[in-house]
Structures are given as C-alpha cells and as structure tokens.
C-alpha cells in the first residue's frame, strides 16, 4: 500500500472521514444546535467537492476492482455537488428535527455507495455499492416517522429495490455462467451476443431500469416520491438517478461495447415507452410531487436516447444533461420543499396565484420547469438538443420524431403549472414565504446554473475533452 | 459596420434586462420605447449600410458576416450575416415592435412583465433573421414561443388560455418537426449546422424528399399553412393588441422565411418535387381563408382569417419557384406584416374605446373617431390590394411571377389567387362599411375620445411604411430581387425563366 491508495480513493476516503466525524459528533453530543451541525456538514461536503477538482489521476486498485479516471472523478463531483444542494434545501425542514445527524449519516452512506458503484470494474464491487446506496435510501424515505404515507412509501421502495437487485443478480449470475468471470475487463472478451447473454443483459438492464424508474419498471416512483419528504424526493429523483446513469455509461461504453447492436434495440424500446408513458401519466397528475415524478421518468427517456448513441458525444451529452437536470429539478424541488414545509400544500391547484404573492419563487419555478421542458434560453434547451442530436447519429428518424413530438406533450403539462402560478387567480393563494438563507442560496445556485450552463459552452466541451482523454 | 449585427441582437436583450431592474411603470414603458426606437434606428443604419456595400460592388451572398465558435465539438457556431431578404425582415420587425410598444402605452396590468415579454420576443425574431447557423436559428425560433403563450394567457381576452395553449403547442409541434429535419441535414452534411456549409455540401435527393416535408410543414405551422392554420384565428383574436401585431406581423413571417431559407434553399430538388403540393395547399389557404373571413362577425377574427389567406400568397410565391414570385412572396411578407399590424392596432384602438369588436354592434365610428376610422380604412384598402398601397405591389409581383410558369396547373392556381381578391374586397368593404360608416348605433359612442398622441404616431409610422412600398416599391424590390435570384439559381440550376 502506497500513496496511490490515498490519491485514487480520495473522494471515498474523505467521505468516510466525514461520516466518522459526524458519527463522533453524534455520540459526543457536544453540539446541540441543529443549525451549527448542518453548517458543519455542508462545509465538509463543500470541502470534498473542492477536493474533487485536484489530484485526479487515472488508476486501478484491488487488482482492478476499483478504477478511477477523470470522467469518474467528475461524475463523483457532480453527485457530491447535488447532495450539497439537497442538504442546503433540507435546512428549513431539518432545523428542528431531532434526528438530524442520522439524516446525514444515512445520506452520506448512500453517496458513498454510489461512489463505489461508479468506480467498480467488477460485478461484486458493483453489487456492494448498489446495496449500500439503496438500503439507507429506504430509511431516508421514512425519515418523518410520524407520517404513515412515508412508511408506506419506504416499504414500497425497499421491496421494489430488493426485487430489482435480485433481478440484476440473476442477470449477473448468468453472465458469470457464460463467461466465468465477474471482472469487467475479462468478461468483455467473452461477450459474443449469444442468446443467453442477451437474456442476461436484459436482466441486468431491468435492474438498472428499476433504479432509473424507466418504464415498465417505474411503478414505484410516483408513490415513493409522493410519500417521501420533499428533499429526499429531490435526492431520489436527481442524485440516485444520476449515479445509475453514470454506471450505465461505464457498462454500455465499456463492458458491453461490442454488443452495441444488441443493446441498442433494448434501449430503443425502452426509450419510446419511457418517454410516452411518462408523458401520458404526467398530464393527469394533481399532486406536484407526483407530477415531478412522472416528468422525471420522461427525462430518463431522453437521457437513454443520448446514451443510445453509444459514442463520446452521446455519453458527454448525457453527463451534461444530468448537470442541467440537477440544477433544474433541484430548483423545482427547492420551491416545492419550501411551500410544503411552510404550508403542507402539495397540489398543483394550490399554486394558483403563486406569482402574486411570491414573485421570485414563482419565477424560479417557471424557469426550472422551462428548463425541464427544454425551452430556450434555459440550459435545458441545450441539454435536450445535445441528447437528441447525439441520438440522431444512428439515423433512426422515427425515434427522433417520437422524442421531438413528445417534447410538445411535455410542454403542455409544464405549462399547466406555469399557468396556475401566473395566470390563474386564487382566493387563498400561498402566503408570502420566508425561506432560510440556506435554501435561498441553493435556489440561487440552481438559477445561475440554469441560465449560465447553456450559453457558456466551456462545461460541455470540458466533458467531451475528458472523454477523449480517457 | 461589422459589429452592427451584434448590436442588433444585444440591444433588445439589454433593454429587457434594464426593464427587469426598473420599478416605476412609466420608466418601464419609456425604457421599452427607447430601446425599440434605438432598434429601428439601427435597422435603418443596417439598411443604409447594406445598400452602400452592394453599391460598392460587394457581391458576397451574406454581408456583415461574423462567426465565433460556440460548441466546436458539435459543430455549432455563432454565425450571423444578412442578405437583402433578412434586412427587409429586420426592418419590418423593428417597425412593428416599435409601433406595438406605442400602442400598448397605457397597459395597466403588470406593465413591466408585459413590456419585458414584448422586447424579449423581438430579440427572438431579430436573432432568427440574422442566424446563419441552423442551431442558432432554431434557438431563436423556440425562444419566441413561450413569451407569446404568456402574453396571450395573461393579458388576452376571451377564451385566452385555450388559445394560448393551442398556439404554444402547435408552434412547438412545428418546431419539433423542424428539429428532426435539421438533425437529418446535420448528419448528412458532415456534422455541421452551418447554413452555408450545408448549402455547399448539398443533401442527397433521397434524403431531401424525406426531410423537406418535415421542415416545410414545421415552418408552415408558423406561417399558418393550411391545414395547420387553426392556431392563428384563435391566437390572434385572444391576444392583446401588441401581441396580435407581433404574431401576425412578425411571427408568421418567421415561418415564411424559414420555408424559403432552410427548406427551399437547402433542398432544391425536393422543392421542385413538392412544389405542386405547396401550390395546392397555398391555393386552398387563399380561398378557404377568404371565404372563412366572409362568415366572421368579430373584427379580429376577420383580420385573423384574412391573414391565413394573405399568408397563402407567401407560400404560393415560394411554391411557384420563379424569381419574381419568390421576390413577391418576400414583399408580401413585409407588406402583410405592416398591413396586418396596422389593422390589429386599429381594431385594438376601437375595442379599447367601445369594448366590442362585433361588426353588428359598431357603426358610425367615422363621425366620432375620425382618425381611427381612417386608419382602419387604409389598412382595409391595403388588404384588398388597392394600388398605391403595399398590398397591391406585393400581390401583383406574386401573380406576375406565378404566371411566368407555363402550364395549366400553375395558371389555374394563379387565377384562383387573383379571384380571391374579389372575395377580399367583399368582406373588407362589408365589414368596414358596417362598422365605420352608417348611422351611430350606440349613443355612448358620441362621447368617445379619438386617438391619443402615441396611437397617432404609431399609425403614422405604419401608414408611412405602407405608402413607401406602395408608391416606391423599387427600394424593396432592389433589396430582395438579387437574393431571390440567387435562391432560384440554386433550384433551377442557373437558368431563370
């Protein structure tokens, strides 16, 4: 063991140290002020985020089980940054919560699991990370212990998550059976696209699709999103999805690279049903969290469309879109969190007349929704355009036409919320909200991200250059 | 002069930002007025500079070109430049936006948001006309959709939410089709969105016949091509005055410009292949729009349906594929933009005072509102193609150009187009006769105030522009004819009929 170990695993090690620091604080009970504890946790997360930019090296550990490179470091940084934003947004919700530190311990454990999952080059390591990221999440969903809906959601989540893992494991065992190894590097040599391997791939992909909530494995999403506390919903819809997409990038671009003709068809079907079904269900929703759940299902369809290109452009545009999506979705959930923490209202109709009482928050929400809908000049437009551009590289115009026309459908339901906020009048609109500085800060960061990331091409070009380097 | 296009696109954006910072409604409208007046001055300078360059013998296809890399790995550039057609469109936009702001001078409800959206919309239109990169063009095309939705849904009248939704969704549907077509061209031309490079590379005819309908229909939705016109009447009639002016005056022209610049210019073989279909659809739009207008009782619906008919002439000109007809189509875009803006403005002025737009309830307005009545009459006469006004010049050019095509099919379409003018005369004269002339139907109308300074000024600007084209069409013809020739040369292969 030499310095390599510390440098290559620095994100994971720092995160572990943070978890231990928080654990010691918990045991010591030295600090009882929730606000101070949260500032400490946020500060530590920020440190890890900053550290993620330095000393990034390429390399492998544990006989190739764990690898890291510039792309993977960037992916971890994105997750870390998103977690920081979620933590800032949770401030109002948690400042009087008596289990504050448990929240951070669980949250950071899932993040650590995701880090390992992304870096894994071996199915054992991958499964370890997957479970580490999944089980604490169910506990987080049930974090408001007194709410029966949360318990129901957590139960749904843990069952479906275990089911998904089991399916994935079955697929992995079949892959092991046909190749005799769990190591990605060796396994790739033995993948020739036999029928059993196709079946195995579909099983593994189905497990992924559960976590991504791609149709037809989306059924848990809306209930869990509705039942979970709003910041946890935000975390589920952004961070945990992003981690899974990053794994898909590794798997599709590395392990299954030679089987592209095979997995393209699986993705093709998955994209169409995910986009269409997500859209159709989103139209009818009355609860804003369920609404955002179905809209995020549709967004996954577009991400898969980018991935289906199977080249650097596709993968870079998927990562770029995830950054944009992180800003947009967290901005939308930030507003939802504020409203639901202050008033408990979660219906779309409750947002009627929102602009007259809370103009700034309504603008934030509108910009976030426009970004999700892919309307210029928000970054969402660029994100969607790049995904669709990458996806069109295969020359499958039917798929592109379906995706493009579904943007129109999605515009309809995003406009519904915009209309409720700006056009409709209400006799009892949501009163003027006083958010904390922390949630204001997170919304401001998201707004800056939505406005700037599109016009400034540096970010996208940076991601592309990383891919070319790797 | 090289910076002028950058200035052109940045002035409205800066104006919009300034509006956000101001608080007092009076300052807001003043800032909007100054910004749009400045924009008109810049457009006139652009016109002057363009003519000077051409006189000096600059024969480059696009002038004032400039290019910056934006997303190099995807082949997306900030590439702008103008030819005569774009200059004409920019001038039209500047005039209509300035007049729209003048006509909305007294908007009471949320003036800051209102002027912000109008100025923001205009940025989309300017950007669209100067883009030489298809990605950039698409960006500006979509930029101009959502502000329209908000303008109609918040400040509109009647079934405003329905109309706003219909408009936004149909236009987005159109742009989705355009997007698919653009991506097809992008990959065919070797990963570039650059208009000039795609034109140079050429697109294989087989792919053209797949992509051309998508792009043409996509832009056709914007220009209210039959059978995708249904958003136009509802949208126009529900929108507030300035938004109606913008929608009919400029937004529909985005579609016409796109049909010409992107679909026809980049895919010449397919343009020839499908020209019969364009002519059939345009002829239907012309006739259908004219007859549908006959049945309308609401002044705004009258102008909205007649816009469908008039925009049919634009598509007819493009479909005829002769230099004169295409030049006529462009002139019709400019002429219709000015005329319809004036018409909607006059209707807005009447509605503001009488609170009705029903022809049957108005009457005798000439006695109480002489200025406004004269304005609406001029707009109406321009619409029916009275010589001396811009409508006559533009429509005549389209007909002359169409007639240059031999063959019964093209001539029949031309005759149908000419015949529709009779119908136009019937509905315009009938509607104006009933609402402006005749006895006063409502005693309350005697106490109405005629146009205020801002309305007089804006009407004067629009009428002046209409007369300028009507009496001296040469400056406009000189501007658009060489570029129409250029586009046609590409289609017919250097031989002009």
What digits encode the pLDDT tens for the residues A107-166? 999 999 999 999 999 999 999 999 999 889 999 998 888 888 888 999 999 998 999 899
Which residues make Cβ contacts (< 8 Å) with residue B356, sequence separation at least 6? B362
Residue B76: strand pairing partners? B71
Which residues on chain B are in Cβ contact (under 8 Å) with A385? 135, 138, 179
User: What CA–CA distance (Å, rounded) separates A435 from A387?
Assistant: 35
Indicate the pLDDT class of residue A380, thresholds 50, 70 and 90. Answer: very high
Judge whether residue B496 has pLDDT over 50. Answer: no
Residue ranges making up the domain that contains A254 = 3-469
- pLDDT, residue B44, reads 92
pLDDT tops 90 at residue A369:
yes
Mean pLDDT, range B424-428, rounded to an integer: 90
Q: At CA B145, angle to CA B143 and CA B150, rounded to 5?
A: 115
pLDDT at B493: 66
Report pLDDT for B437: 84
> Would you say residue B492 has pLDDT above 80?
no
Distance CA A276, CA A298 (A): 7
Interface of B with A in 175-204 (CB under 8 A): 176-177, 179-180, 183-184, 186-187
Identify the helix (H) or strand (E) that includes residue A368. Answer: helix A359-373
Q: Residue with structure tokens 């003018």?
A: B421
Q: Which of B143, B179, B210 is facing A377, going by the closest CB pair?
A: B143
- Considering only CB atoms, A376 lies closest to which of B71, B139, B184, namely B139
- The span from the CA of A41 to the CA of A60, in Å, is 30
Task: Tell me the C-alpha distance between B61 and A119, whole Å.
Answer: 53
- Of B395, B241, B419, B217, the closest CA to residue B316 belongs to B395
Q: Is A18 helix (H, G, I), strand (E, B) or coil?
A: helix
pLDDT of B495 over the 70 cut: no
- Segment B463-488 mean pLDDT: 88
DSSP state of B81: E
Q: Are B134 and B182 in contact (CB under 8 A)?
A: yes
Q: How far apart are CA B79 and CA B90, in angstroms?
A: 17
Nearest to B221 by CA among B262, B184, B176, B183: B176
Q: Is B145 close to A392, i.e. CB distance below 8 A?
A: no
pLDDT, averaged across chain B: 89
Tokens of A306: 């980018």
Which is higher by pLDDT, A36 or A114?
A114
CB contact under 8 A, A457 and B71: yes
Residue A43 CB neighbours (<10 A): 12
pLDDT tops 60 at residue A223: yes
- Tally the domains of chain A: 1
Instruction: Give yes or no for residue A316 having a pLDDT over 70.
Output: yes
- Give the model's pLDDT for residue B407: 84
> Which site among B9, B12, B68, B73 would you substitute to test the A interface, given the most A Cβ atoms closer than 10 Å to its Cβ?
B73
Q: Is A85 in contact with A446 (CB distance < 8 Å)?
A: yes
- The answer, yes or no, to whether residue B497 has pLDDT greater than 60, is no
Sign, CA torsion B427/B428/B430/B435:
positive
Residue A63: phi and psi, rounded to 5, are 45, 50
Q: What is the mean pLDDT of chain A?
A: 89
B153/A422 touch (CB, cutoff 8 Å), yes or no: yes
Across A148-157, B55-64, B312-321, least confident range: B55-64
H-type alpha helices, B323-439: 323-354, 365-368, 370-383, 390-403, 408-435
Question: The dihedral of CA B138, B144, B150, B156: what is its sign?
Answer: negative
| Residue position matching structure tokens 């040469």 | B474
């Amino acid at each position: 063991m030499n310095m390599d170990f510390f440098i290559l695993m620095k994100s994971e090690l720092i995160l572990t140290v943070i978890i231990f620091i928080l654990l010691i604080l918990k045991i010591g009970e030295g600090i009882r002020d929730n606000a101070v504890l949260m500032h400490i946790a946020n500060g530590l997360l920020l440190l890890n985020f900053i550290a993620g930019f330095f000393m990034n090296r390429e390399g492998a550990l544990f006989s190739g089980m764990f690898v890291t490179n510039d792309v993977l470091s960037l992916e971890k940084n994105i997750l870390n940054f998103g977690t920081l934003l979620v933590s800032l947004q949770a401030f109002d919700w948690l400042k009087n919560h008596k289990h504050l530190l448990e929240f951070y311990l669980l949250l950071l454990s899932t993040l650590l699991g995701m880090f390992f999952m992304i870096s894994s080059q071996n199915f054992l390591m991958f499964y370890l990370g997957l479970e580490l990221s999944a089980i604490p999440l169910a506990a987080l969903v049930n974090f408001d212990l007194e709410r029966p809906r949360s318990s129901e959601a957590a139960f749904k989540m843990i069952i479906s998550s275990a089911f998904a893992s089991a399916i994935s494991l079955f697929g992995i065992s079949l892959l092991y059976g046909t190749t005799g190894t769990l190591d990605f590097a060796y396994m790739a040599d033995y993948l020739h696209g036999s029928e059993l391997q196709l079946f195995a791939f579909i099983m593994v992909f189905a497990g992924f699709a559960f976590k991504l909530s791609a149709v037809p494995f989306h059924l848990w999403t809306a209930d869990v999103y509705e039942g979970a506390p709003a910041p946890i919903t935000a975390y589920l819809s952004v961070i945990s999805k992003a981690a899974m997409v990053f794994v898909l990038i590794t798997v599709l671009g590395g392990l299954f690279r030679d089987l592209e003709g095979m997995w393209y068809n699986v993705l093709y079907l998955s994209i169409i049903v995910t986009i269409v079904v997500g859209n159709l269900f989103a139209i009818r929703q009355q609860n804003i969290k369920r609404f955002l759940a179905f809209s995020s299902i549709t967004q996954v369809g577009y991400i898969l469309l980018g991935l289906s290109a199977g080249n650097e452009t596709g993968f870079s545009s998927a990562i770029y879109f995830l950054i944009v999506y992180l800003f947009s979705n967290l901005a939308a959930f930030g507003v939802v969190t504020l409203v639901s923490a202050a008033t408990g209202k979660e219906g779309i109709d409750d947002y009627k007349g929102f602009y007259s009482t809370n103009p700034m928050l309504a603008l934030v929400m509108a910009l976030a929704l426009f970004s999700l809908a892919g309307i210029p000049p928000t970054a969402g437009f660029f994100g969607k355009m790049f995904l669709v551009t990458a996806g069109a590289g295969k020359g499958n115009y039917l798929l592109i036409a379906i995706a493009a026309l579904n943007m129109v459908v999605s515009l309809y339901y995003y406009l519904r919320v915009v209309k409720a906020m700006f056009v409709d009048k209400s006799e009892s609109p949501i009163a003027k909200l006083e958010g904390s500085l922390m949630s204001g800060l997170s919304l401001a960061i998201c707004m800056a991200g939505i406005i700037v990331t599109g016009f400034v091409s540096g970010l996208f070009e940076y991601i592309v250059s990383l891919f070319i380097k790797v | 002069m090289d910076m002028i296009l950058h200035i052109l696109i940045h002035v409205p954006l800066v104006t919009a930002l300034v509006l956000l910072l101001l608080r007092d409604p009076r300052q807001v409208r003043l800032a909007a007025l100054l910004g749009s007046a400045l924009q008109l001055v810049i457009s006139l300078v652009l016109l002057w500079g363009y003519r000077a360059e051409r006189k000096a013998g600059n024969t480059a296809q696009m002038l004032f070109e400039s290019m910056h890399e934006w997303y190099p790995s995807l082949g997306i550039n900030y590439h702008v430049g103008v030819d005569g057609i774009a200059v004409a469109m920019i001038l039209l936009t500047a005039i209509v936006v300035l007049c729209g702001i003048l006509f909305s001078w007294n908007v009471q409800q949320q003036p800051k948001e209102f002027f912000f959206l109008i100025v923001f919309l205009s940025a989309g239109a300017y950007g669209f006309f100067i883009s030489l990169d298809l990605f950039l063009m698409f960006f500006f095309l979509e930029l101009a959709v959502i502000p329209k939705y908000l303008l109609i849904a918040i400040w509109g009248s009647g079934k405003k939410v329905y109309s706003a939704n219909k408009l936004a969704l149909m236009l987005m549907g159109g742009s989705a089709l355009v997007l698919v077509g653009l991506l097809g061209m992008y990959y065919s031309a070797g990963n570039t969105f650059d208009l000039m490079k795609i034109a140079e590379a050429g697109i294989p005819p087989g792919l053209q016949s797949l992509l051309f309908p998508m792009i043409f229909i996509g832009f056709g939705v914007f220009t209210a091509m039959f059978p995708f016109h249904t958003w136009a009447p509802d949208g126009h009639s529900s929108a507030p005055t300035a938004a109606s002016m913008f929608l009919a005056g400029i937004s529909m022209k985005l579609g016409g410009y796109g049909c010409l610049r992107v679909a026809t210019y980049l895919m010449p073989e397919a343009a020839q292949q499908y020209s019969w279909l364009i002519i059939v659809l345009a002829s239907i739009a012309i006739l259908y729009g004219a007859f549908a207008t006959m049945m309308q009782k609401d002044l705004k619906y009258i102008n909205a349906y007649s816009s469908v008919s008039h925009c049919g002439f634009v598509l007819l000109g493009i479909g005829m594929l002769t230099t004169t007809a295409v030049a006529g189509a462009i002139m019709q875009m400019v002429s219709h933009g000015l005329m319809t803006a004036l018409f909607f403005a006059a209707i807005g002025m009447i509605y503001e005072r009488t609170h009705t737009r029903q022809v049957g309830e108005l009457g005798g307005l000439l006695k109480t509102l002489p200025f406004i009545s004269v304005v609406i009459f001029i707009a109406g006469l321009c619409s029916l193609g009275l010589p001396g006004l811009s409508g006559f010049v533009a429509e005549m050019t389209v007909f002359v150009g169409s007639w240059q095509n031999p063959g019964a099919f093209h001539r029949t379409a031309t005759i149908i187009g000419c015949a529709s003018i009779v119908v136009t005369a019937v509905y315009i004269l009938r509607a104006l006769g009933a609402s402006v002339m005749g006895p006063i139907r409502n005693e309350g109308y005697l106490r109405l105030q005629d146009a205020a300074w801002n309305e007089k000024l804006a009407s004067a600007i629009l009428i002046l522009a209409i007369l300028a084209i009507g009496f001296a069409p040469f400056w406009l013809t000189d501007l658009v004819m060489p570029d129409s020739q250029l586009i046609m040369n590409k289609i017919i292969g250097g031989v002009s009929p």
